[in-house]
Amino acid sequence: MTNLLHDLYTHQAWADAEHWKALEAHPAALEDDTIRKRLHHLYEAQRAFLFISRKIKLDRHDYGIIYDMPVLKDLTKCNHEEAAEFLNNATDEQLNDVVTIPWFKDPPISITIEQALTQTALHSHYHRGQNAARLRELGGNPPLTDFILWLWKEKPEPEWK
């Protein structure tokens, strides 16, 4: 497995944990419909790409469930733990396997598992940025979670307190 993909996923878990702490520190943020919907979308997108990468059939009935925020936080944490386990055991051959992304129909798209996982990390970064801007609008203090900051801090592990 590439070191960069591993770093992107370890950073993603850390950054998500930092955002959850900042959102919890400003209770109005977790009551905000925009942030709540985006947190659900982040979880679902990360989960879906992990399932696709692990070649587990997606059950679309599991998607669209609205969880209480503490439950969603726990699910997000578990998802990151499952992703770390998958990546720690994935071979280069597995990461080069091709998967089809089911929601792209016309035309369909097939990409490597490494590309699918990279998409997830980049997509998550995009939505964390949106939530950070919204948190600031609500009077909260978004954390700095840039990749380079994580590197500068010597790659801290996520703290899900």
79 assigned to some structural domain: yes
96 assigned to some structural domain: yes
16 assigned to some structural domain: yes
Return the amino acid letter for 128. R
Local confidence pLDDT in tens for the 161 residues of the chain: 579 999 999 999 999 999 999 999 999 999 999 999 999 999 999 999 999 999 988 776 566 677 899 999 999 999 999 999 999 999 999 999 999 998 899 999 999 999 999 999 999 999 999 999 999 999 999 999 999 999 999 999 999 98
158 assigned to some structural domain: no
Q: Is the bond preceding 107 in cis, omega lying within 30 degrees of 0?
A: yes
Determine the structural domain holding residue 59 and report its residue range: 3-152
pLDDT, residue 65, reads 75
Give dist(CA 2, CA 92) in Å, integer: 8
pLDDT, residue 57, reads 84
Give dist(CA 81, CA 101) in Å, integer: 23
Q: pTM here?
A: 0.93
Q: How crowded is residue 89: how many other Cβ atoms within 10 Å of its Cβ?
A: 9
160 assigned to some structural domain: no
Please report, for the domain that includes residue 24, its CATH number: 1.20.120.450
Q: How many domains does the chain have?
A: 1
14 assigned to some structural domain: yes
159 assigned to some structural domain: no
Picking from 109, 106, 105, 99, the residue whose alpha carbon sits closest to that of residue 49 is 99
59 assigned to some structural domain: yes
Give dist(CA 97, CA 90) in Å, integer: 11
pLDDT, residue 63, reads 65
